[in-house]
């Protein structure tokens, strides 16, 4: 440490602290191996965050943070993350050339929930040339329609120009196995000819909020806007400040923050104190829940997907906590994300055109009857369900 420019007094004090802890904290072998892993991981994350992200996503499930938080942190550090795609993704997350000094991380087919490894392998093996259509993928890869539905729900047909709703429409049109007569004819010609020629149906696009909801449901993460960003207007009206403002808040000041519940920790050595990590679109907020508050609001604390917290800021150098005084379950507000377009509520009546303009109304006629655009298996109901990491 002295050779690296640290004062000798600071170096000696640091060494004594490490020496004292090492005498009882961990067995020496465990401490040494953990230190090596921690150092190597930190070095990789600092110098090659793109490689680190791809590797840790491929090792899931593991670790303290969920994939959504790992991806968000990488993006904040300049890593480009690309969505899963039938023509570009392998089963695992991979690195792709990108502008700049770093690679882009392509999410793998493994991120599509419910997709079997064998079906993902079949798709990659059949991709000697890019798939030209949903039916082309189906015939060449020989995967069941259910597997294509999982990929459509995960929005993995972007290279074909399909969003998830349009892709699922195309998948549902496939029906059963290809007819032998058509399959034999295609094999002789060396090209694919659709069994049925249908006029393309333009489906109403999802709201931006609904896309985020479906991202979380089908992949467990989103590359779009953070869910709380759609609720910021409501939160601001109720007095909740962004978590990013905590860094400029003085010690002892009372604040209100809100966010998704990421982690709940209640170490056995903490005398009943619970630690909760919240995340919004700006940063994270670390809460300290005293045992008295935990007992009063136990059910809410352990069940809520989104929490609002009123409390007092505690600062110790760069470490910031919020000592919680009262908690509010905001899961109901989180359930409204799917109805949002950007950060405001969608219009509820046509009389507000004077305020918002008279552009095309998404609720107007689409040139098709409602039965022509109904997709029963899309399952767009429900709210974002963030899987928390609980350590108790």
Question: What was the pLDDT predicted at 62?
Answer: 82
Mean pLDDT confidence for 75-98: 95
Q: Is 52 exposed, middle or buried (0-12, 13-18, 19+ CB in 10 A)?
A: buried
Q: Which residue has the tokens 């993460």?
A: 221
Comparison of pLDDT for 192 and 264, the residue scoring more: 264
Residue 127 lies in a domain: no
Domain of residue 307: give its range: 204-345+366-392
Q: Sign of torsion, CA 289 293 294 299?
A: negative
How high does pLDDT run on average in the chain?
Answer: 83
Question: What was the pLDDT predicted at 187?
Answer: 59
Residue 287 lies in a domain: yes
CA dihedral 208, 213, 216, 221 (to 10 degrees): 30
Determine the Cα–Cα distance for residues 267 and 270; give it in Å rounded to an integer.
Answer: 5
Question: What was the pLDDT predicted at 290?
Answer: 95
Mean pLDDT confidence for 222-248: 92
Determine the Cα–Cα distance for residues 312 and 249; give it in Å rounded to an integer.
Answer: 10
Does the pLDDT of residue 327 top 70, yes or no?
Answer: yes
- CA angle at 121 for the pair 120 and 125, rounded to the nearest 5°: 120
Helices 117-125 and 134-141: crossing angle in degrees, nearest 10, is 100
The domain total for the chain is: 1
Residue 379 lies in a domain: yes
Q: How confident is the model at residue 180 (pLDDT cuts 50, 70, 90)?
A: low
Residue 316 lies in a domain: yes
**Lookup: tokens for 228:** 């709380």
Mean pLDDT confidence for 242-262: 92
Neighbours of 326 (CB within 10 A): 12
Question: What was the pLDDT predicted at 195?
Answer: 57
Residue 274 lies in a domain: yes
Question: CB-based contacts of 226: which residues, under 8 Å, 6+ apart?
Answer: 72, 279, 280, 281
**Lookup: tokens for 263:** 């982690």
Neighbours of 259 (CB within 10 A): 30
Residue 309 lies in a domain: yes
Strand pairing report for 389-391 and 254-265: parallel
Residue 276 lies in a domain: yes
Does the pLDDT of residue 383 top 90, yes or no?
Answer: no
**Lookup: tokens for 108:** 């793998």
Question: What was the pLDDT predicted at 341?
Answer: 77
Residue 37 lies in a domain: no
**Lookup: tokens for 283:** 């940063």
CB 110 within 8 A of CB 92: yes
Determine the Cα–Cα distance for residues 72 and 251; give it in Å rounded to an integer.
Answer: 28
Q: How confident is the model at residue 354 (pLDDT cuts 50, 70, 90)?
A: very low
CB 384 within 8 A of CB 216: yes
Q: Which residues is 308 bridged to in the sheet?
A: 258, 328
Instruction: Give residue-wise pLDDT tens across range 14-43.
Output: 888 877 766 655 566 677 888 899 999 999
**Lookup: tokens for 381:** 């109901």
Instruction: Give residue-wise pLDDT tens across range 264-323.
Output: 988 877 788 999 999 999 999 999 999 999 999 999 999 899 999 999 999 988 889 999
Instruction: Give residue-wise pLDDT tens across range 133-177.
Output: 998 999 899 899 999 999 999 999 999 999 999 999 999 888 666
What is the domain-level CATH number for residue 375?
2.40.50.140
Question: What was the pLDDT predicted at 364?
Answer: 43
CB 118 within 8 A of CB 132: no
pTM for the model:
0.75
């Amino acid at each position: 440490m002295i050779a690296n420019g640290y004062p000798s007094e600071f170096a000696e004090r640091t060494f004594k602290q490490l020496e004292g802890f090492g005498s009882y904290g961990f067995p020496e072998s465990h401490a040494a191996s953990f230190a090596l892993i921690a150092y190597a991981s930190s070095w990789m994350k600092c110098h090659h965050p793109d490689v680190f992200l791809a590797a840790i996503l491929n090792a899931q499930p593991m670790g303290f943070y969920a994939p959504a938080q790992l991806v968000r942190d990488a993006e904040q550090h300049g890593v480009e993350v690309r969505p899963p795609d039938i023509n570009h993704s392998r089963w695992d997350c991979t690195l792709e050339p990108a502008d700049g000094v770093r690679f882009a991380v392509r999410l793998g087919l493994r991120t599509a929930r419910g997709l079997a490894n064998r079906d993902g392998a079949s798709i990659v093996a059949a991709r000697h040339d890019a798939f030209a259509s949903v039916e082309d993928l189906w015939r060449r890869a020989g995967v069941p329609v259910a597997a294509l539905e999982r990929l459509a729900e995960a929005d993995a047909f972007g290279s074909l120009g399909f969003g998830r709703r349009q892709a699922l429409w195309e998948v549902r049109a496939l029906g059963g196995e290809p007819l032998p007569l058509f399959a034999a004819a295609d094999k002789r010609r060396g090209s694919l000819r659709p069994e049925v020629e249908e006029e393309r149906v333009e489906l109403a696009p999802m709201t931006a909020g609904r896309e985020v909801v479906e991202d979380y449901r089908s992949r467990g993460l989103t590359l779009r806007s953070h869910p709380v960003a759609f609720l910021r207007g409501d939160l601001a009206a109720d007095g909740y400040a962004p978590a990013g403002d905590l860094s400029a808040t003085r010690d002892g000041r009372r604040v209100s923050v809100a966010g998704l519940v990421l982690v709940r920790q209640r170490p056995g050595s903490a005398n009943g104190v619970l630690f909760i990590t919240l995340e919004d679109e700006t940063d994270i907020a670390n809460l300290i829940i005293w045992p008295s508050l935990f007992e009063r609001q136990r059910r809410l604390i352990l069940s809520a997907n989104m929490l609002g917290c009123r409390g007092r800021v505690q600062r110790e150098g760069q470490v910031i906590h919020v000592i919680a005084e009262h908690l509010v379950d905001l899961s109901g507000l989180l359930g409204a994300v799917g109805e949002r377009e950007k950060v405001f509520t969608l219009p509820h009546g046509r009389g507000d055109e004077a305020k918002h303009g008279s552009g095309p109304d998404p609720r107007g006629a689409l040139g098709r009857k409602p039965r022509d655009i109904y997709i029963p298996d899309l399952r767009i109901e429900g709210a974002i369900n963030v899987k928390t990491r609980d350590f108790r």
